[in-house]
Amino acid sequence: MDSITQSLLGAVVAQAGFRRTLGRQAMVAGALLGAVPDLDVVAGYFGPYANWVHHRGITHSIFFGPVVGPFFGWAIWRFHRWRASRRGEPDRPDAPEMLRAWIWLAVLVLFTHPIIDLFTSYGTQLLAPISRHRFAIDALPIIDPVYSLALIAALVVGTVAKRRPGAAVGSAAAALLFIYGYSLMGWAINDSVRSTAREELRQAGQPVGEVLAYPQMFQPWFRRVVAETPESIMVGYRSVFGDRPIEWQTYPLRADPLIDRVAATPEAAIFTWFAMDKVFWQVSETPDGAVVEALDYRYGMWGGDAVGFWGIRARVDRDGHLLGPPVRFQRERSASGSLLRDYWRVIWG
């Protein structure tokens, strides 16, 4: 999920579990800790492919919270003790209990961060550094206003209810139960759309291998469906609120020595791993040679680039020699008012 939602979740986890023990300062610490794993985006300053390699890597492992969380918890505890001493406040007799609370808060917030990222399509290295495998459930978009608003509502209650920790804890628990059910709903929708698409293709006599479904922006009910066949990939869209058959666009797979040449580069290997092997290759002729592009077909957009809008691109001369290493590219996506209105209508069938 986006970093703002991750901070909101961290604050709500802290509010639900530690408001009574640590007070409202737990919510602030939870919000800050919730964003810590996403600091791995600074890797992007160290090379064009570093962000693909390292974002959602070790800081998004299920081991990160249990291993690093105690150090964060201890540091926060020490900070609050230092601030209390500067203010001349007496040392609390329950200091060991406070330390345990801060440690558990840090561990839980850092642990829940990769868990909710797992429900998006980007890919999360849950077992790093033991394994570089990328896990993804494809249940929710990276930005979902309903998900975020549920967390905001709980935090508003927690902020207003200064002397009612029970109300703060209850609202946070309700928000966590809601997003848990909401995430499972997105997962179930994905499985349902995949099954529907597979059955439609079977009835049409279309042989397919894997059928995948990916959430589109801002909501979980409208899915982009990708069917893999031996000769092509097929892309269509399906809303759970409509019953019209999926209209497929077919993109033939192409065999070309130029593709093989670019695919053998280290940059293409990184991209293929990042895209979880969901790569569509295409070649465009130019006056002085050709341009070879690889697209991540997990990410296409209704009303735009259906087969994908980011990837890598390499130029070759007329003799098929690379004119440099592949470079990253991303196509601009339209966000016009008319397109958004059409998008809203198609969501609701």
Task: Please write the tens of the pLDDT for every residue from 213-225.
Answer: 999 989 999 999 9
Res. 232: pLDDT tops 80: yes
In a domain, residue 141? The reply is no
Residue that finishes a domain, picked among 91, 116, 136: 136
Contact call for residues 3 and 141 (beta carbons, < 8 A): no
Tally of domains in the chain: 2
Residue closest to 22 by CA, chosen among 94, 87, 83: 94
Res. 179: pLDDT tops 70: yes
Report residue 127 as tokens. 């077992």
List the beta bridge partners of residue 225.
213, 236
In a domain, residue 195? The reply is no
Query: d(Cα 172, Cα 168) in Å, to the nearest integer?
Result: 6
Res. 244: pLDDT tops 90: no
Q: Find the DSSP H helices in the chain.
A: 3-22, 25-35, 50-54, 64-86, 95-117, 145-160, 165-203, 257-263, 266-274, 337-347
pLDDT band at 128 (very low <50, low <70, confident <90, very high): very high
Report residue 7 as tokens. 């901070």
Report residue 340 as tokens. 């958004």
Mean confidence (pLDDT) of the chain: 91
Average pLDDT rounded to a whole number, residues 316-332? 90
In a domain, residue 273? The reply is yes
Phi then psi for 164, rounded to 5 degrees?
Answer: -130, 75
Res. 339: pLDDT tops 90: no
Res. 349: pLDDT tops 70: no
In a domain, residue 309? The reply is yes
What domain range is 261 assigned to? 254-330
Tens-digit pLDDT profile for residues 265-283:
999 999 999 999 999 999 9
Residue type, 282: Q
For residues 104 and 96, which has the higher predicted lDDT (pLDDT)?
104
Residue that finishes a domain, picked among 103, 136, 169: 136
Instruction: Report the pLDDT value the prediction gives residue 92, as an integer from 0 to 100.
Output: 61
Query: d(Cα 3, Cα 7) in Å, to the nearest integer?
Result: 6
Instruction: Report the pLDDT value the prediction gives residue 7, as an integer from 0 to 100.
Output: 97
Query: d(Cα 346, Cα 349) in Å, to the nearest integer?
Result: 5
In a domain, residue 245? The reply is no
Average pLDDT rounded to a whole number, residues 44-63? 92
In a domain, residue 181? The reply is no
In a domain, residue 67? The reply is yes
In a domain, residue 211? The reply is no
Residue that finishes a domain, picked among 136, 168, 200: 136
For residues 255 and 344, which has the higher predicted lDDT (pLDDT)?
255
Phi then psi for 300, rounded to 5 degrees?
Answer: -125, 175
Q: What angle do CA 185, 138, 230 make, to 5 degrees?
A: 130
